[in-house]
Amino acid sequence: MLLYLMPTAFYSAVSYSGSWTLFAINYLLILIATFSLYESGYIYNDTFSIRHEQQPAIRLYESNFAHFGRWSAVIFGIRVLYSLSALGMLYWLNGTERCGYVALSIAVMTLCFAIYNHWRNHYNVWFYPFLVCSRYVPFMLLYDTGIMPYILLFVSFPLLNAMERFSMPRFRWPLMRTLIPTEESKTLFRALYYPIVLLVLCSVFYCFALPYTWLIPIGILTIYRLSLFFWLKRHSATNYLNG
Residues 58 and 125 in one domain: yes
Residues 200 and 210 in one domain: yes
Residues 158 and 110 in one domain: no
Give dist(CA 168, CA 181) in Å, integer. 10
Which residue segment(s) compose the domain that 94 sits in?
16-145
pTM, two decimals, is: 0.91
Domain count, the chain: 2
96, 111, 145 - which closes a domain: 145
Give dist(CA 223, CA 195) in Å, integer. 9
Residues 165 and 239 in one domain: yes
Burial state string for 57-82 with b = 16 or more CB within 10 A and e = fewer than 16: eeeeeeeeeeebeeeeeeebeebeeb
> Is residue 192 a part of any domain in this protein?
yes
145, 170, 203 - which closes a domain: 145
What is the residue-level pLDDT of the chain in tens, covering all 243 positions? 999 999 999 999 998 989 999 999 999 999 999 999 999 999 998 888 777 666 667 888 889 889 999 999 999 999 999 999 999 999 999 988 899 999 999 999 999 999 988 887 777 888 888 999 999 999 999 998 889 999 999 999 999 998 888 887 666 677 777 888 888 889 999 999 999 999 999 999 999 999 999 999 999 999 999 999 999 988 877 766 754
112, 145, 178 - which closes a domain: 145
